[in-house]
Amino acid sequence: MKHITEKDVAALTALLTKERSDLEGELREHGRMIGGDWQGTAQGFETAEPDDIDGADKMEELATNVALVETLEARLRDVRDALSKIESGTYGLDEETGEPIDPKRLHANPAARRNID
């Protein structure tokens, strides 16, 4: 991580830590943890039999939340991976080439895995 200053690493760690917390909150809002994986849910979907309109609304909400939870979970994985790389000293290196990722890119996306050509 020689291409990134200690000050930058501290700032990026703070950004990643906040994003991790925000993502975990959003995941709790739109899903629940089942067997180690997040699953999208619809609020109140598990209650007594809804009428047809309410049931359709819940199905639409469930479909939306399933996709949203998948996206949030993928981003959370990226953020957690970035934080692990900071701890191991491998943060900021392109996963394909091993070359340093441009610090400007890391500030724009602290969980970046690759450089942009």
Query: Which structural domains are found in the chain, ordered by start?
Result: 6-108 (1.20.120.910)
Q: Which of 116, 67, 115 is nearest to 92 (CA)?
A: 115
Please report which confidence band the pLDDT of residue 45 belongs to, taking 50, 70 and 90 as the band edges: very low
* pLDDT beyond 70 at 52: no
Task: Spell out the alpha helix ranges (H) of the chain.
Answer: 6-30, 52-88, 103-108
For residues 38 and 51, what is the distance between their CA atoms, to the nearest angstrom? Answer: 28
Q: Which of 110, 18, 30, 106 is nearest to 73 (CA)?
A: 30
pLDDT digits (tens, 9 = 90+) for 23-39: 999 888 877 777 777 76
